[in-house]
A and B are shown apart, each in its own frame.
Chain A
Amino acid sequence: MAMRMQRRAGTARATKASPGEEVHLLETRPVLPGYQLLTWAAQDIARKVQPGQFVYVLAPRAPGLLLPAVPVAGVDRLAGRIRLLISADTGHEALWSLRAGDVGRFEGPLGRGFEIDAHSRYLLVVTDVAGFARVGASVEEAVASGRQVTLLLGARTAAEVLPSSLLPDEAEYVVATTDGTLGHHGSVADLVSEYEAWADQCLAAGSTELLTRLVRLAEGRRARMGVAKLGRKRRRGPEPRATVSRRRAWLQLALPHQAGCALGVCLGCVATGERGPLRVCREGPAFAAGELRWETGS
């Protein structure tokens, strides 16, 4: 059965529309206590996936429950491989105990990933450990397309910092730890101001606290940078509430898929958008910061 694909604004937005693809586990690698990197042979998904998109695990899984979709943390298109970074508490206990050679069944790629402007040369990626899985593929793809990438990673302590081997050699890797045991002492958001003038765009994932702070920083960036408002003169009066262009947005955020059908049907994974509820599994998981309403805690 052919996967139904919808093309919009140059980005694939797929639906869960087939019994999925049989995938083979090639390698499991513990990267941190409580985190494993699983490398799967998944030809079809690897060919189609865009950074920020995810897969839905049909097997192995606990029956009868809506599980979180799993972001694709890395992709090797030539070899037809994808990498999933799973943690012990994501609801995918069935994946945790797998070994190389085991077989699974995934649906995907699902959702709408990051949209990077073709003119963007310098990309800032900000995340914490839990959010890395949602931005990891973006770093790889951006480096492969010749962009300069800096990844800012926040962790509680040095023992929880992800190894640099998860990133391409060309990417700059900067760490902040809450207890100061490695890199900057404090929040990773403290580092953003050093890069905001350099970066053409910023992609982020992580805790609500981190994303909220980044949104606040991005709101004031235009004023701090003194960026002129270019383009056609707008008429006086309130700003029209047109759809925010993700491709042009300086800050894009990938939200976690907590649980749900990943089909756009259950309405369980919605985030609060400026113009109403937005489904993380269909309209997201990547959003322009301006699409989301933050004061209500989305």
Chain B
Amino acid sequence: MTVDLAPRRRGGLRLRHPLVVAAGGAGYGGELLAAVAAQTPGAIITRSVTREARPGNPTPRMALLSHGLLSSIGLQNPGIDAVVQRQASRWSASTTPIIVSICADNAEDIAALVRTLDMQPDIAGVELNLACPDRSRGGEPIGLDVEATEIATVAARAATDLPLIVKLTASAADVRPIARAVAAAGADVISAIAALPALALDPERGGAILGTAYGGLSGPAIKPVGLRVVYEIAQAVRLPIIGIGGVASLEDVLDYLAAGATAVGLATAALADPFLPARLADELAAWCEARGISDPGALSGRALPRRRDRGSLRSGPFAR
């Protein structure tokens, strides 16, 4: 069940199994590892960290909807230096690969964040989150713009030899040119998708439920969107993909693998049940064994059109 997400990097990014906890699903890693003991995920991607501390958004921050969860945490974190200081010993004690997610508004901050992490001996990789709202761009994520995405990825790539994952948003009208820019700029892995911008209203008050009005929708409701984006990225680039969005069952895992993912990330469902990634990995192993499949990598991309047919997508509804 071993998966290497960055075989070209020295040391690679080897996971015991392809079920990872995506950013937001495990804090900084230590909390979840303490809870699950031996039933560990394949890797843990931490909550996104910024260069300076951020207090987070006003409350309420979370609303339970019928098929999803709307949340607006606002990147609450104590800043990269404090996170490293508090978490380094936990990361070094972990046998599960720890990938630290970072978020910044500009290339200078991205480079500074990555350089700080590059000096940490026990980090398996860095995830550059280009899906979070960028304050300097009026709240528009960097990942909506091809040029800004390329600049951000280059800045991160230049600052480290660690495996670099770039997280993309599903809000882009066409994610394929953005994925190509990420690949060209030297990223090792693409992760997608992040929570979708959404709004929930309180019919009694007539106002927004969340303190910030808008939030990010996650959970089962966004799985079809995640599948679509992974499916498109997989046809645009040859990078490994971590498919994220609404994963809560073996069926969801198989769907993401079929759509082209190499690994599958859980966030909301992992928060609800920290043991779920390890349990799904066991179920996937049993499913593969029952069908005589020794390498789960063989499941990746089964739903993709054959290479000579892929041009037809360009005339689809999302074509540009």
Contacts and interface: CB of A to CB of B under 8 A. Distances in A.
B34 interface: yes
Interface residues on A, range: 20 to 34
B31 interface: yes
B272 A296 contact: no
A65 B274 contact: no
Interface stretch (B52-60, B90-98, B132-140, B286-294): B52-60
B268 A65 contact: yes
Interface stretch (A30-38, A212-220, A269-277): A269-277
A91 B249 CA distance: 20
Interface residues of B, number: 39
Interface in B47-90: 47, 55-56, 58-64, 67-69, 71, 73, 76
A267 B73 contact: yes
B71 A268 contact: yes
Contact of B35 (A17, A67, A266, A298): A17
A267 B54 CA distance: 13
A294 to B, nearest CB: 12
B269 interface: yes
A68 interface: yes
A1 B56 contact: no
22 contacts: A4-B34, A17-B34, A63-B249, A64-B219, A64-B220, A64-B248, A64-B249, A65-B268, A65-B272, A91-B64, A258-B64, A259-B62, A263-B27, A263-B35, A264-B31, A266-B71, A266-B271, A267-B76, A268-B62, A269-B61, A277-B76, A297-B58
B283 interface: no
Interface of B: 24-27, 31-32, 34-35, 37, 47, 55-56, 58-64, 67-69, 71, 73, 76, 211, 219-220, 246-249, 268-269, 271-275
The 9 closest A-B pairs by CB, nearest first: A64-B248, A268-B62, A261-B271, A265-B27, A259-B64, A64-B269, A63-B248, A91-B64, A64-B220
Given A264-B31, A265-B26, A66 B62 contact: yes
B62 A63 contact: no
Contacts of A268: 61-62, 71, 73
B132 to A, nearest CB: 14
Interface in A15-29: 15-17, 19
A66 B31 CA distance: 17
A15 B248 contact: no
A258 B62 contact: yes
Contacts of B62: 66, 258-260, 266, 268-269
A161 interface: no
A265 B31 contact: yes
Contacts of A68: 64
A16 B246 CA distance: 22
A271 B27 CA distance: 18
Centre residue among A16, A66, A266, A271 by max chain B CB count within 10 A: A266
A58 interface: yes
A296 B56 CA distance: 14
Contact of B55 (A67, A259, A269, A277): A277
Given A17-B35, A66-B272, A266-B62, 9 more contacts: A65-B64, A65-B272, A261-B271, A263-B31, A266-B73, A272-B58, A277-B59, A296-B58, A298-B59
Nearest to A282: B31
A19 B35 CA distance: 9
A68 B65 CA distance: 12
Interface string A237-272: 000000000000000000000111101111111111
